[in-house]
Homo-oligomer: A and B are copies of this chain.
Amino acid sequence: MVTKQDEILEAAIRVLAVQGFQQTKIRDIAKEAGVADGTIYLYFKNKDELLVRLFEEVMQKVFRILNTALEGVSTPAEKLHCFLRTHLHMVEEEPEAAQIISVVLRQSTAFVKEYKNALFAKYLGVLQKILQEGVDEGVFHSDIDPMIVSRALFGAADELALAWLLSRNKASLEHTSQVISKMVLHGLLRAPVEEVK
């Protein structure tokens, strides 16, 4: 059975994805959830807390999907591609949740200030671990700083997600993830001079 709290959160996701953070009134969420305004306050201390819980809800789903996707993938390079591919896949599958993460959460100053949120850090941590593995196994350049690169990769994926969410023409993101993975793994440069030597 789904609790009323979950119903409210689901409703909030639907409404926030469409209207944005500041535009969404408690009343809108209550209406979408089919409860009275006051009922929201029985389950959440205030609007900000609702947002936090909503973020956690969404991130949990993300982790579930990501972990499932990474199962059985062995090499760091493949894992990296899998990570990027899954991130963009989720955007296609769960555009509302993606909208929340890429757009809505940034609208809350409080949230951005706590950007180093535990859950977000954990998400970045998955990437960092993959990168570190690659370095340790000797397949990635050793002078890579996993902290920096993980952040860059997340930014790249997030920006592509945002572009897709805001575009009318929703072409598949499969191609996009191929291009990015290739760039990240092999670089833009072709036939590097060093090879000739």
Contacts and interface: CB of A to CB of B under 8 A. Distances in A.
Interface in A161-197: 162-163, 166, 175-176, 179-180, 182-190, 192, 194-195
B106 A139 contact: no
Given A159-B151, A159-B154, A188 B184 contact: yes
B141 A188 contact: yes
A192 B183 CA distance: 14
Contacts of A144: 179, 183, 188
B183 A149 contact: yes
B107 A140 contact: no
Contacts of A73: none
Contacts of A175: 145
A57 to B, nearest CB: 21
A160 interface: yes
A139 to B, nearest CB: 6
A1 to B, nearest CB: 24
Interface in A70-84: 77, 80
A18 to B, nearest CB: 9
A153 interface: yes
A92 interface: no
Given A107-B107, A134-B188, A156-B156, 12 more contacts: A20-B109, A23-B109, A103-B112, A113-B166, A141-B186, A148-B160, A152-B157, A153-B156, A154-B159, A155-B155, A158-B159, A184-B188
Interface of A: 19-23, 77, 80, 103, 106-107, 109, 112-113, 115-116, 131, 134, 138-145, 148-149, 151-160, 162-163, 166, 175-176, 179-180, 182-190, 192, 194-195
